[in-house]
Amino acid sequence: MRDVLVNYIAFGAVVTMVACNKLVENPASTITATQFYKTQSDAVAAVDAVYTTLNSDPASDFPIYGRELNLMTDNASDNQNFSPSNTNPDVRAMSTITYVSSNGRILKNWQQHYYGINRANIAIDGVSAMAVTAFSSTGLQGRLVGEARFIRALLYFNLVRLFGPVPLILHNPSSVDITTLQVARAPRDSVYAQIIADLSFAVGALPGSYSGADVGRATSGAAHALLAKVYIYRRDWADASSELLKVLTAGTFAGATGTYGYGLFPNYGDAFAKASKNGIEHVFSVQFVTSGGETGATQWLSYSFTSFNTGTYPIDIPSDSSVSQIFSGGDTRKAVTFYTSVYNAATGGTVVFDNPYTPYLNKFVDYTVSPLNNQTTSGIDYPVIRYADVLLSYAEVLNELNGGPTADAYKAIDLVRERAHVADLTLGLSQSDFRDSVFLERRKEFVQEGQQWFDLVRQGVDVYLAAQHKIAAHAAAAAKDTLFPIPLTEIQLDPLLTQNAGW
């Protein structure tokens, strides 16, 4: 009997020892932070992840540059309205200027911007901390940090213009303890100082161009152009001018030193065509690809066409017929910006869309996808900065800097007008008239490109209200609307945050 016992205990002991499994987690299918930021590929992947935040959303919502930002900068401007078939109260409120601080679209934009900023912060800290020896070529480490800082600057530039003072977060949080996360809003000047610091670093660290499988990354030209725009919003015309001169192609303007070879496409439509993406006019674009194999990136602005069924409506529409009426008859931009009919390859007929909401918006409709309503696979890039923006900015800056338009100011705006087959601007305009001409030109040039709300607001509250009140559906616009409200849940989670005036 005792032998049995001994046997059994031995058996039991073996089982127990075999069974003494470790409780430590060693994930096989998940990377943990401690394993990462070691090699050059890690560094590249960390920075690529920053770009991702521009063209996709982790919850498959609209990406920042795939409609989300446009809901604030176009639908909330005098240019656009929600589609009659839209049932989302938050989206509707953006266009009726009745949004409140709990609006989900405002929160989403805020969230997506900080999501991108966080990834940039992680990449900047992670890549900077790596040994130089980890990189195969000199300058690569700096370039990668520069790319991340460029995107961080771009996102903060959006935030500070949309919301005013915002929390200035520069590092990844280390703890889930909410009290360690709570901060107050940083003054506008501090945010701008950080943006300028980031871009000043980026202009030195980034190359002028890329080749092959790197095309589409931020360049030093893009950093200069963005920096110039930052100075314009700071009304620092002298610095804006000097940055723009570094972008403007050498020889085209007095003092221009740009070596990037930027120019305008002869054909305005090429700025929104898949075949000519990352072309001479594209200073910085967010990339979209047809059937690229990724599922998260969808250019929702392409849903400006959804169906040949004339009873259905596209995703967003012009606020009213006045938007298309700003274009003169010969303006080639009109036909690129709007459509009223679409050729149906399946039937061989042309379907005409004619109702109170037409013409529909056209720039982001990808006519190369088949069938055409498969716009989910649209490969049209989102142009964040086009050379036309640089030219119009230069016209504006010279007008402000010199107390009135100079010859180069006319030259800059006329380059844009000539490309659109529109007559040159009347000479001899006053500073104020020239300024108005530049803003009108910007409105025509950048429909659906996320500029109009910013352009209205920076002209002052009176201009903003006058423009909005011309649109029946935007009658609710008020002075407080020149800044968006800080999202309600953010204030609830962080008592240090204050709300904007009037909200």
Task: For another protein, give the closer residue by CB, 340 or 402.
Answer: 340
Task: For another protein, give the closer residue by CB, 466 or 491.
Answer: 491
Instruction: Report, in Å, the least distance between residue 136 CB and another protein.
Output: 17
Task: For another protein, give the closer residue by CB, 277 or 282.
Answer: 277
Asked whether the beta carbons of 164 and 483 are under 8 A apart, the reply is yes
Task: For another protein, give the closer residue by CB, 3 or 462.
Answer: 3
CA atoms within 13 A on the CB side of 136: 6
Task: For another protein, give the closer residue by CB, 51 or 446.
Answer: 51
SS3 342: strand
Task: For another protein, give the closer residue by CB, 122 or 415.
Answer: 122
Strands in 387-492 per DSSP E: none
Asked whether the beta carbons of 381 and 287 are under 8 A apart, the reply is yes
Task: For another protein, give the closer residue by CB, 147 or 414.
Answer: 147
Q: Kind and range of the H or E element at 418?
A: helix 407-419
Instruction: Report, in Å, the least distance between residue 71 CB and another protein.
Output: 12
Q: Which residues is 351 bridged to in the sheet?
A: 342
Task: For another protein, give the closer residue by CB, 18 or 131.
Answer: 18
Task: For another protein, give the closer residue by CB, 52 or 259.
Answer: 52
Instruction: Report, in Å, the least distance between residue 114 CB and another protein.
Output: 5
Instruction: Report, in Å, the least distance between residue 460 CB and another protein.
Output: 26
- DSSP result, 200-225: HHHHHHS-S---GGGTTS--HHHHHH
Q: Which residues is 361 bridged to in the sheet?
A: 338
Strands in 191-345 per DSSP E: 282-286, 316-318, 338-339, 341-344
What is the rounded distance in angstroms from the CA atom of residue 480 to the CA atom of residue 461?
9
Report angle CA 256, 271, 55 to the nearest 5 degrees: 105
Instruction: Report, in Å, the least distance between residue 286 CB and another protein.
Output: 9
Per residue in 380-407, is it b (16+ CB within 10 Å) or e — as a string?
Answer: bbbbbbbbbbbbbbbbbbbbbeeebbbe
SS3 279: coil
Instruction: Report, in Å, the least distance between residue 437 CB and another protein.
Output: 35
What is the rounded distance in angstroms from the CA atom of residue 39 to the CA atom of residue 339?
49
What is the rounded distance in angstroms from the CA atom of residue 137 to the CA atom of residue 140?
6
Task: For another protein, give the closer residue by CB, 55 or 393.
Answer: 55
What is the rounded distance in angstroms from the CA atom of residue 414 to the CA atom of residue 405?
12
Residue count of the chain: 503
Cα distances from 55 to residues 112, 173, 195, 301, 308, in angstroms, run 10, 24, 21, 12, 27
Instruction: Report, in Å, the least distance between residue 414 CB and another protein.
Output: 34
Instruction: Report, in Å, the least distance between residue 181 CB and another protein.
Output: 5
Instruction: Report, in Å, the least distance between residue 300 CB and another protein.
Output: 10
| CA 166 to chain CA mean position, Å | 18
Instruction: Report, in Å, the least distance between residue 432 CB and another protein.
Output: 36
Instruction: Report, in Å, the least distance between residue 221 CB and another protein.
Output: 17
Residue 27, preceding bond cis, omega within 30 degrees?
no
Task: For another protein, give the closer residue by CB, 369 or 415.
Answer: 369
Cβ burial of 237 (10 Å; 0-12, 13-18, 19+) is middle
Cα distances from 496 to residues 112, 171, 195, 490, 499, in angstroms, run 21, 19, 23, 10, 10
Task: For another protein, give the closer residue by CB, 249 or 302.
Answer: 302
Instruction: Report, in Å, the least distance between residue 135 CB and another protein.
Output: 17
Sign of CA dihedral 306, 359, 75, 188: positive
Contacts of 161 (CB under 8 A, 6+ apart): 233, 454, 457
Instruction: Report, in Å, the least distance between residue 207 CB and another protein.
Output: 13
Task: For another protein, give the closer residue by CB, 155 or 412.
Answer: 155
